[in-house]
Amino acid sequence: MVFEEIKASRQSFARRGRLYTFHGIVETPVFMPVGTQATVKSLTPEDLISCGAQIILGNTYHLYLRPGHRLIESLGGLHSFMGWSGPILTDSGGFQVFSLSPLRKIREEGAIFRSHIDGSLHELTPELAIEVQESLGADIMMCLDTCIPYPSSFQDTQKATDLTERWAKRCLDARKRDELLLFAIAQGGMYPELRRHSIQGLLKMGFDGYALGGLSVGEPKELLLKIIEDSRPLIPSRFPVYVMGVGTPEDIVECVYRGIDMFDCVMPTRNARNGMLFTSFGRIVIKNARFARDEGPIDPNCNCYVCNRFSRAYLRHLFIAKELLAYRLNTYHNLYYYLNLMKDIRNAIERDEFEVFRKNFYMKREGT
Catalytic residues: 91, 264
Residues 262, 235: Cα–Cα separation, whole Å? 14
**Closest to 38 (Cα-Cα) out of 165, 141, 139, 136:** 136
Residue type at 111 in one-letter notation: A
> What CA–CA distance (Å, rounded) separates 121 from 125?
13
The amino acid that residue 69 corresponds to is: H
The stretches of 29-188 forming alpha helices (DSSP H) are: 45-51, 60-65, 69-74, 78-82, 94-100, 126-136, 154-174
AA letter at 275: G
Contact present, 276 and 283 (Cβ < 8 Å): yes
SS3 318: helix
Angle between helices 192-205 and 154-174 (to 10 degrees): 10
85 φ, ψ to 5°?
-95, -5
3-state secondary structure of 301: coil
- β 262-264/30-32 pair status: parallel
User: Which DSSP letter does residue 284 get?
Assistant: E
Beta bridge partners of 5: 17
d(CA 287, CA 333): 16
